[in-house]
Structure 1
């Protein structure tokens, strides 16, 4: 394949684009600026989005195809049997069927013709442009793109943000360690977070007119709401271990904030968004700019979907972070052969056998099974039914289209109320000075015997418990049994507000169950503190200041643990000079996880050793999978004499973990934090080293505002700061092109590692690359 001149891969090295392309939708122009950002203009929207499809198909075709293959369960057809279990899971979850019903649902809407035009643009790019390097390496050509494939990208993103098996895992922890210990190790709420909606913001109560629900507040677990107790047996370790491979990492999160004009140095608000998603080459997002007959928009889209998701238009700017709402439930059944009891009747499972094509091996048959609630997943003789809001027809893509056309806050609110899934923290600001926070998405109200209950349990699907009225899996839902979107948490014109996946609002202000748990709260608390301090100083909040907020590496975990660690070392008579020197260094440290910091390196490795030493043995002896461990905030809350620290106590365990961390540093020859925390961890899905990124030292952790978790890796997947009366800043972790031979494949990765924003033009720039002319394509 790499033979000089004759190798099959070298065709992909031709990076020039077709100069003139016939379009059945009419004239359009495609330009690329100095950063490889596509700018598309046209006088008709179908022509505009045909050209967008062409640009994405030319720049990100393999990524688009890989994503749809993943969620259609068709990876094994091109990579072999290594992905068979992934294909089984994604077929059994029937994501493709959910995408089909969504595509059919929106076909007659205003976006139907635009999705068809986008599809045709992608397919014509396949015909006219060079086959991607990865396709050549694997020896295949992608199938034609479909409208349902774009709907599948919507399902993929929704699952990555809301598809959690935490309820199943917590039920198993209750079984293994008891209810009291489960509540201690995995509390529903933490004491140190700052909610998104604070006192004095928004309505006094959300959902005040809804029927009473268990516990009387919107929380769960040990906060007085639900207690996670189920009337059925938990699923066992083998099934849970399998499912855990296909859920998002618990540390995925995002940051955003909006600053009203009264606190800026101009006449309009500032909006910032930093979504922390999986990091890969090429990046999750595709940066683009569109200029059509009815709107202009700049920002980022998901490859495979035509509309800007995070960005701005001539009137306002918007962004999203994950809300953490509970929109997935699980069911066990009284089963007898191919039937299950549902109330007073027995029903047959809907069963379909599907063939999985396997490259270089024998094809396999997988059984796809569904109940009245949705898919049923089986493993080792156990099964569980799944209800998830993404399994019905949704209008999220319609919402994004209307958002990009919005001419002010009223339009933006109307658009976002159609954003069915996933649940998100939506921030908006416009040039008229308006700001808004609104949690998007459909939140189910679960019922048992007619009473609303919390969703932090496994339901008896045969009883039936945990029903969602108005929900039709793989059909069109009425949503009548869901929280009205007008009652979702929201704030109109906050002076300033920030989100970081923490608790949305105090539970006693909710008239319904919203979430079983949220993120630890370290990032949310830190951002709130920085903004509060600036407001109290009466200094204006400008982009220079917000750059420092976005690049803040202060780790709240260190502030909680390091003083006790230092004291533990100094109190030990047998602590040697190496241990004492490390304690002295930590004592002088400012808790910032900077790439050039030796103390940050010591703390990072110590924290991992300490967590492992505290829980590894007990959890390894249980059926709970490796991916579920108590959070740092939970460990910090444990008493010094907790049973988890063993007979020697917490101080001794802390010292032992520090010795182990220092030994690892010495063995590996590390000097500073950037030696272990760098961009070399960001690889390509094919796991070929040359397709990944070079190693540049990077600060931050999964708990700092400037976010980077190398274990995923995950972190800032698109970093945007938008002063609506000033500059627009942005940055991608890599480059905008998916073409390995392009200069824009990795031209932003070093800037991303150094935290150097780009100043973005609000006008389309660059020489004309492709001219689309009227024709049959």
Structure 2
């Protein structure tokens, strides 16, 4: 009997060991995950952990000293540039390794490897978009510069030194949960990270949607729906600025008839958030209390944990720079040094065009200028967790990869072959811009640094201790004639190619304007007198609000600038709401609608978290836009279409309140604008009343903000943050999007700086430094930034030695 019991218990033990060390579906091996010695327990970090250490980094030229402050911001003191990069790579990996890797895997179309088959279509899209292709081209450009190559090599060596020292118990928690291990870092991964940002900021294009619109609407309507210029302009370069005659011109094809694609395009892809952008502005010393320039910047991007940015100070004999870095890349991207400060906002230009291709023999040959050329066929192996690999063949043409064909994204809705020409595919070296900006001392050196930055186009704002303020709408902009690239073009005709780029010296820029301030908030860069064609999706109201606030200001302090970054005034609502109320027949309102009318009539247009009126207005405008457009954009045989921007709809109606889209074509009667306004107001009341009953009508409760973990794990996210702001507002905070870093720098004799981002330095959810800044960010607070000297001491001291 004892023998039987022993055998049974032994078998049960073996079965348990086997079961606990096996993955079950999406679950990791529970034995390893729950192990006290190796599992998630090891990621619980003591609140009193001492980060001080002495660490061996083989190959350092000299010892490097690092002080980490009370927020775990490292202040790195190195004797050589490459040693600084080496140590930064190590610290990035120590604090953000999983984030670094998952973002580059997302860029390369490799998420299926770790997250399973549900992301196959997304991975296929990134392969067909040519993300790795573009990264490979950029890496060649980086490594042609021996200084840049050595700098990036040193950074990569630092990442890999940390990875090589990892043991299973010290793996970041996400690796344990997803049951995989980090792979070695490479210079290509850094290039992929840069393309990840290019995709986020310059990856959108509406060529397909606009091409479809031309099939369903008149040319006049399409021009009104998707104008190149918004009616009311407050551009980055002040209106009325004279521009010299262009030295280059785009030559339209001889037939002078724009190609009209006849296919009904049904390809639907997820695009970057249309509000990816930023604010930046600088005020001259003539307007400040101290007499020194002040520069402010807050980039608006998707909000995640771990946060996109990583604060750092780097000091060597040739630089002393502070700001935010991008984990996975060396250097400071936004920040200041002993002499200058700089900030960036998105240029918002469309630099992606689609070409209709004619293929024969499958994907092997395509027509170009009357003859057939061989396509370069790349077989993409997409590894899938728990399944066999998926193989996708991507054809590369003279334009670039064939992004869409009858096998992607859905075999039942394919519409022929479309190749993509994207500026981000070119071999460029954007990292060099930041390398040189980190060390720049004046306007000329700032300008020299910008020459390397081509995509994504950015507004690089500048201020210096010598008193200069300047801005360049910086990038390489295709030389195109009007409407070139707005619609699909014939890929068999080379006359539809880009004809070079706007000459560098003629891109929009300004230095020391007479008015004493500069501002870019993703609005159009120029007025209509600029001689080159720039096309993109631009904001209008944030830039207007910033200029409106700055114009009367004198005696400006950093506190004024922080208050402006947190400004919740909604200029779009200030234009739209009076228009709506003027077209609402008050006497026809039922008693149960009067409360909403009174709420809106009393609103000051400040979209604060406590505002009930902000919620009611946003619900009303949403219903109003549906009433205007839903009947006209419905039943189009699956064609992908884009609604006009809200500002376009509003400005059109202000010009012509009887425009024909007001009528609801699904009803027998002809609706007028007051009819639509009343109908949408009545429909708004349904969700508004529900929110009121549930105690969630205040805007910060109705919408609020969620900062989600990169893998979507709720336990590692911060949800329901009590925030105001939104689209069209200087405080651009939305549900999952907003100011990812806020910085204000006064460049006096002693630099005075403030900053904050919604997260923390650590990527470990078990660390107190994971989200320690979120509540202060939500409350609109800032941290004073202290730039350490070599004699200063922080909270933790790390010495990196070469042996």
Please give the TM-score of this superposition, normalised by the length of structure 1: 0.90
Distance 1:206-1:67 versus aligned 2 partners, 3 A rule: farther
Residues 446, 466 of structure 1: 8 Å contact kept = no
Is the Cα contact below 8 Å between 1:43 and 1:292 reproduced in 2?
yes
Partner of 1:10: 41
Helix, strand or coil at the partner of 2:496: coil
Q: Could you say which residue in structure 2 is the equivalent of 1:677?
A: 703
Contact 2:304 2:707 in 1 (8 A): yes
Change beyond 3 A, Cα 1:692–1:206 = farther
SS, match of residue 432 in structure 1:
coil
The answer as to whether partners of 1:551 and 1:755 remain within 8 angstroms in 2 is yes
Could you tell which deviates more after superposition, 606-615 or 14-23? Answer: 14-23
| Alignment match, 1:633 | 647
Structure 1 residue 362: Cα displacement: 2.1
Q: Which residue of the partner structure matches residue 763 of structure 1?
A: 788
Aligned to 1:527: 546
Alignment CA distance shift 1:661-1:346 (3 Å): same
**What is the count of residue pairs matched by the alignment?**
733
Preserved CA contact (<8 Å) 2:358 2:417: no
Secondary structure of the 1:629 match is coil
Structure 1 residues 541 and 107, CA gap change in structure 2 (3 angstroms) = same
Deviation per residue, 1:680-713 (Å, 9 max, x gap): x221122111111142210101110011121xx2
Residue 199 (structure 2) pairs with residue 159 (structure 1): yes
1:653 aligns with 2:676: yes
Distance (whole Å) between structure 1 residues aligned to residue 84 and residue 199 of structure 2: 29
Describe the SS at the equivalent of 1:584: helix
CA contact (8 A) 2:264 2:639 kept: no
**C-alpha displacement at 1:585, in angstroms?**
1.5
Match of 1:500 in 2: 521
Q: Partner residue of 2:802?
A: 774
Alignment deviations for residues 267-302 of structure 1 (CA, whole Å, 9 cap, x no partner): 321111111111111222121111112101111121
Change (3 A) 1:211 1:653: closer
Q: Is the 8 A contact 1:168 1:235 kept in 2?
A: no
Cα distance change of structure 1 residues 583 and 209 upon mapping to structure 2, 3 Å threshold = same
* CA distance in structure 2 between the aligned counterparts of 1:673 and 1:625, rounded to whole angstroms: 35
C-alpha deviation, 1:14, in angstroms: 4.2
Secondary structure of 2:86's aligned partner:
helix
Q: Between 600-609 and 397-406, report the one with greater CA deviation.
A: 600-609
Q: Matches of 1:180 and 1:319 in 2, distance apart?
A: 39
Q: Give yes or no for the alignment of 1:601 onto 2:615.
A: yes
Aligned to 2:763: 738
Deviation at 1:441, TM superposition (A): 1.1
TM-superposed CA distance for 1:6, in Å, is 6.0
Does residue 361 (structure 1) correspond to residue 387 (structure 2)? The answer is: yes
Partner of 1:144: 184
Alpha-carbon distance, 1:624 to partner: 6.9
Asked if 2 retains the 8 angstrom alpha-carbon contact of 1:520 and 1:631, the reply is no
Match of 1:116 in 2: 153
Q: Tell me the equivalent position of 1:546.
A: 561
In the alignment, is the contact (CA less than 8 A) between 1:251 and 1:519 conserved in 2? Answer: no
SS at match of 1:258: strand
User: Partner residue of 2:117?
Assistant: 81
Deviations 1:372-403 (A, max 9, x none): 11111123252211111111210210111011
Match of 1:309 in 2: 333
CA contact (8 A) 1:197 1:491 kept: yes
Q: Distance in 2 between matches of 1:424 and 1:390?
A: 13
- Mapping 1:101-500, distance limit 5 Å: 101-109=137-145, 110-129=147-166, 130-199=170-239, 201=241, 204-205=242-243, 208-211=246-249, 230-233=258-261, 236-239=264-267, 241=268, 244-245=269-270, 247-337=271-361, 338-377=364-403, 378=405, 379=408, 380-446=414-480, 454-468=484-498, 481-494=500-513, 495-500=516-521
Q: Is the 8 A contact 2:209 2:640 kept in 1?
A: no
* Structure 2 Cα separation of the partners of residues 234 and 411 of structure 1: 50
SS in structure 1 opposite 2:721?
coil
Compared with structure 1, are the counterparts of its residues 522 and 234 closer, same or farther at alpha carbon in structure 2 (3 Å cutoff)?
farther
For 1:578 and 1:34, locate their aligned partners in 2 and report how far apart those are by CA, in whole Å: 54
Q: Deviations over 1:643-681 (max 9, x none)?
A: 3332332223223323333221332422311112323x2
Q: How does 1:565-604 map to 2 (within 5 A)?
A: 565-573=580-588, 575-604=589-618
How far the C-alpha of 1:235 sits from its partner, in A, is 5.5
* 1:32-54 per-position Cα deviation (integer Å, ceiling 9, x unaligned): 21122222221111111111001
Distance 2:282 2:559 in 1: 15
CA contact (8 A) 2:213 2:641 kept: no
Contact 2:212–2:639 (Cα < 8 Å) also in 1: no
The 1:101–1:260 alpha-carbon spacing in structure 2 relative to 1, beyond 3 Å, is same
Q: Which ranges of structure 2 fall in alignment gaps of 5 or more residues?
A: 1-29, 409-413, 665-669
Deviations 1:426-474 (A, max 9, x none): 1101101111111211112248xxxx974323221112232235xxxxx
Q: Tell me the alpha carbon deviations over residues 178-224 of structure 1, each in whole angstroms, 9 at most, x when there is no partner.
A: 322222222222122301111465xx215622236569xxxxxxxxx
- 1:615 aligned to 2:629? yes
With 611-620 and 297-306 compared, the bigger mean Cα shift is at 611-620
Give 3-state SS (helix, strand or coil) of 2:304's partner.
Answer: coil
Q: Separation in 2 of the partners of 1:690 and 1:434?
A: 47
Match of 1:98 among 94, 110, 134: 134
Q: CA deviation at 1:769?
A: 4.1
Distance 1:199 1:94, change over 3 A: closer
State how far apart, in whole Å, the 1-side matches of 2:755 and 2:228 are.
Answer: 35
Q: Equivalent residue for 2:717? A: 692
Contact 1:459 1:465 (8 Å CA) reproduced: no
Greater Cα shift, 389-398 or 21-30: 21-30
2:95 is paired with a residue whose SS is helix
Q: Once the two structures are superposed, what CA deviation does each residue of 1:82-121 show, in whole Å capped at 9, x if it has no partner?
A: 1101111111222112212322222242121111111011
- 8 Å contact 1:256–1:272 — kept in the other structure? yes
Q: CA deviation at 1:714?
A: 1.4
In 2: Cα distance, 1:256 partner to 1:340 partner: 45
Show CA shifts across 1:503-556 (max 9, x none): 11113222x2222x342301111111111122xxxx322222222221111112
Contact 1:31/1:767 (<8 A) preserved: yes
Measure the CA separation in 1 of the matches of 2:400 and 2:263: 17
Deviates more, 1:587-596 or 1:278-287: 278-287
CA distance in 2, matches of 1:371, 1:100: 17
SS of aligned partner of 1:740:
coil
1:232 deviates by 4.2
Larger of the two Rg values belongs to structure: 2
What do you get for the CA RMSD once the two structures are aligned?
A: 2.3
Q: Which moved more, 1:84-93 or 1:765-774?
A: 765-774
Residue 551 of structure 2 aligns to a residue whose secondary structure is: helix
Match of 2:22 in 1: none
